[in-house]
Structure 1
Amino acid sequence: MVQKKEDLDPKDFNLAFMKKYDVFGVGNALVDIIAFVEPKFLDKQKIDKGIMTLVDETRQGQILADLHEIKKELRSGGSAANTMIAIANSGGNCCYAGKVTHDTYGEFYKKDMEDAGVRFETAPDKEGHTGTCVVLTTPDAERTMLTCLGISTSLSPSDIHLEDLKSSQFVYVEGYLWDGDSTKKASQLTMKEAKANQVKVAFTYSDPFCVNRTRDEFIQLTKDYVDVVFCNTEEGLALSGKKDPLEAVAYIGTLSPLVFMTAGKEGAYVCQDGKIELVPGFPVKPVDTTGAGDAFAAGVLYGLTHGFTPKRSARWGNYVASRIVEEVGPRLSVKLLNKQDEVLKGY
C-alpha cells in the first residue's frame, strides 16, 4: 500500500519520505526450534506450561535429546526479529540488530532472516553459541518456551549501526533486553540516538516477568523515551498495578502518547493522548499462539509507517495476529503484501 501525503501529519511528511527503513529492530537473536507435544511431555520434563523460562545449555540439550523422535522446525526468531519478519511480509522495509555466532544455528539464522526480507545488522562472532528457543506447543494451542540465550546476551552498543538507525522512521526494542547488562546498554543507546535524530521509539514490555523484575525502570523509560508502547493485558496490569484492563491502559497512556494493549480474542485497546478505544479482532480457531503479540506489533508498525491512523493500524495488527495463530510457529506461510485495502475496507 502506497503511503499518501494526506494521511500523514504535515510535519512528519518530508521526514518519513527521507527514511530508508520503516523500522530498525533490536532484540535477542534466537533460533526457534518448534515442536508439537502432548501435555505429558511437559509434566515429565517438569516444565511450567504457557510461559517463557530461561535455561542453560545443559538443560536445553536434555530437552532436545528427549525431542529426538518428534518432528521439529527451525525459524530465525526472537521477539523483535519475529516482528521485523512480519513487517517485511506486509510489504515494509526493515533491518535488525542481534547477535549470533559462527555455528550451524548462527549461519542458519543469518540466511533465514535475509531470505525473509530483513537486513540482518550484526556480523557473527567467532566464539560462543547462538541462542535457541525451544517452542513446545500443546493441542490447546498454548505455547511453552525454553530459552537458552547464548551469545545473544553479548549484544552491545558497538553492535548498533547508527547510520541505519538514523535512516529509519521507528526503532523497535524488546523488553527482554533489560535482563542483560550489555543488551540493556545497547537498548538505551538505541533509544537515546533515536530521540536525538527524530526517530520514533516503540517499546514492547515483552513478558509479565520482565515487567515485574524492572517495573520502576520500565515506567521511567516509558516516560523518558517511548512514543509507542506495546503490551498484552497481563503485562499492562503488571506495569500499572491495576486490576482492570481499562484502568491499566489508561495509566500507561499517562506515560506515553500512544499505547496498544492486546486483549486476546476481543482485539486490542488503543490509547492515543488519553482517549481509549477497543479495536475488535478477527474470529479464528487458533492452532499455535506463538508470535501472536509480535505479529500484532508488526501490523501496527507497518500501519504507522505507511500513513494509517492508530485505530486502522491496530485493526491491521489484529489481522496479522489472527493469521499467525492459524499457523505453526511465528512465521506466516502466506504473503500479506497489498492485502491491506481488502482487509481494512470500510474501516
Structure 2
Amino acid sequence: MKKYDVFGVGNALVDIIAFIDPNFLTKQKIDKGIMTLVDETRQGRILADLSEVKKELRSGGSAANTMIAIANSGGTCCYTGKVTKDTYGEFYKKDMEEAGVFFETTPDANGHTGTCVVLTTPDAERTMLTSLGISTSLTPEDIDIERLKASQYVYVEGYLWDGDSTKKASELTMNSAKANNVKVAFTYSDPFCVNRSRDEFIRLTKDYVDVVFCNTEEGLALSGKKDPAEAVAYIGTLSPMVFMTAGKEGAYVVENGKVELVPGFPVKPIDTTGAGDAFAAGVLYGLTHGFSPKKAARWGNYVASRIVQEVGPRLSVRLMGRQDEILQGFKD
C-alpha cells in the first residue's frame, strides 16, 4: 500500500490576500482576472499602496493549494517547493504542516521566498500579481524519488514551465513516475501558460500524462477549438482521462474518449481564488480512494463550491468523512 495519495510539485508561494475596490486595478494599470508576473520592486509598491487594507497570509501556490485541500478531504500527500530562510519561508513550512501536508524542501539562504498578491474584487474575481522569488530555483535534485515511489499519483503544475530548472524538475518527476508505475496528473494552470508552452504541453500530455486538469479557457487555448465540448474531446485524444471545469455548469469528464458533463453545486461565490485547485484536490482524493471518474468529479465540484464561499484558497470547514453524506444519491 502506498504511503501517500499524491506527491505534489509546484511553485511555493506565500499568498497575500486582500479585498479591493475595482478602481484600484485601474489606478495601478493591472489587468483584471489573470495572473501577472511582477518583480519584487513592483510588488512592493503595490503592497505599500495597500497598507491600509486588511490582508491575510496563506501558504500557497497552485499545487500547494491542491495538496492542502486533499488533506482536508482526508487524503495523504507531500509537497515539494522552494523557499528561503526568511520570515515568509518559515511561515510557509509551518503553515503547510499545520494544514496536514508533509512539506519537503532544502531552504536556500539567498534571495526571497516567492509571494503572490491576490486581489479580490466584489464580483468574486481574483487578480494575482506574483513575484516568484526563489521558487524558480527548484531543481531535479530537490525531488525526493523515494517519496515519489511511495505515492499513487504525482501532480505537477503548468506554472513550472516558466523556468528552466523547474521545468527539468517537473520532467524528472514525470519520468520517474512512469518508471515506477505512479500515475501522472498535470494541470495546465493558466491560459497564458498554455499559450506560451502549447507545443510542449501537447507533447507532455501525449508522452506522460494520465490525468489532465484544466478550465475551459485553458482547454480552448490548447485545443484551438471554439466549443468547450470539442476542446475537451480533443484533449481526450492526448490523454486517457481529462477533467475540465465549466464554471457553474460543473465539469467535463473524458475517460477513454467518452465525454460527459458532471453537474456542479450552485452557490453564490464571494472569492474564486483556488477554485480550480480545490476541484483538482477533490478529483484526486476520489481517484485515490476508489471513486469512478464521474464520482470523483462530483466531489471535486463540491470542494470547489465550498472554496468559492471562503476568503482565500483555504477551507475553514473539515470535509474529511463527509463524502458519503454529500454524494448520497449521485448516480454514475
For Structure 1 versus Structure 2, the TM-score category normalised by the shorter chain is over 0.9
- 1:149-189 deviations in Å (ceiling 9; x for gaps): 00000000000000000000000000000010000000000
Q: Could you tell me how far apart the structure 1 residues matched to 2:31 and 2:134 are?
A: 25
What SS is found at the alignment partner of 1:123?
A: coil
Q: Could you tell me how far apart the structure 2 residues matched to 1:105 and 1:333 are?
A: 22
CA displacement at 1:126 relative to structure 2:
1.1
What SS is found at the alignment partner of 1:284?
A: coil
**1:25 aligns to 2:8 (yes or no):** yes
Give 1:1-347 correspondences, 5 Å limit.
18-347=1-330
Q: Could you tell me how far apart the structure 2 residues matched to 1:59 and 1:130 are?
A: 16
- 1:71-95 deviations in Å (ceiling 9; x for gaps): 0000000000000000000000000
Q: Match of 1:168, as an amino acid?
A: S
What SS is found at the alignment partner of 2:186?
A: strand
Hey, which bits of structure 1, 4+ residues long, moved more than 3 A? none
Q: Could you tell me how far apart the structure 2 residues matched to 1:123 and 1:72 are?
A: 28
Report percent identity of matched pairs. 86
Q: Match of 1:38, as an amino acid?
A: D
List alignment gaps of at least 5 residues for structure 2. none
What SS is found at the alignment partner of 1:254?
A: coil
Q: Match of 2:158, as an amino acid?
A: G
CA displacement at 1:298 relative to structure 2:
0.1
Q: Match of 1:30, as an amino acid?
A: L
- 1:102-146 deviations in Å (ceiling 9; x for gaps): 001000000000000000011311111000000000000000000
What SS is found at the alignment partner of 2:177?
A: helix
For normalisation by structure 1, the TM-score amounts to: 0.95
What SS is found at the alignment partner of 1:247?
A: helix
CA displacement at 1:227 relative to structure 2:
0.1
Q: Could you tell me how far apart the structure 2 residues matched to 1:213 and 1:42 are?
A: 25
Q: Could you tell me how far apart the structure 2 residues matched to 1:184 and 1:215 are?
A: 14
Q: Match of 1:193, as an amino acid?
A: S
Match of 1:9 in 2: none
What SS is found at the alignment partner of 1:19?
A: coil
Q: Could you tell me how far apart the structure 2 residues matched to 1:75 and 1:306 are?
A: 27
Q: Match of 2:289, as an amino acid?
A: H
What SS is found at the alignment partner of 2:171?
A: helix
Q: Could you tell me how far apart the structure 2 residues matched to 1:151 and 1:127 are?
A: 8
Q: Could you tell me how far apart the structure 1 residues matched to 2:202 and 2:121 are?
A: 34
Q: Could you tell me how far apart the structure 2 residues matched to 1:100 and 1:287 are?
A: 30
List alignment gaps of at least 5 residues for structure 1. 1-17
What SS is found at the alignment partner of 1:147?
A: strand
For normalisation by structure 2, the TM-score amounts to: 0.99
Q: Match of 1:271, as an amino acid?
A: V
Q: Could you tell me how far apart the structure 1 residues matched to 2:212 and 2:324 are?
A: 25
Q: Could you tell me how far apart the structure 2 residues matched to 1:162 and 1:346 are?
A: 40
Q: Match of 1:268, as an amino acid?
A: A
Q: Match of 1:236, as an amino acid?
A: G
Q: Could you tell me how far apart the structure 2 residues matched to 1:258 and 1:109 are?
A: 32
Q: Match of 1:87, as an amino acid?
A: I
Figure out how many residues of one structure are paired with residues of the other and give that number.
330
What SS is found at the alignment partner of 1:146?
A: strand
- 1:233-279 deviations in Å (ceiling 9; x for gaps): 00000000000001000000000000000000000000000001000
- 1:208-234 deviations in Å (ceiling 9; x for gaps): 000000101100110000000000000
Q: Could you tell me how far apart the structure 2 residues matched to 1:302 and 1:255 are?
A: 23
Q: Match of 1:86, as an amino acid?
A: A
- Tell me the C-alpha RMSD between the 2 structures: 0.4
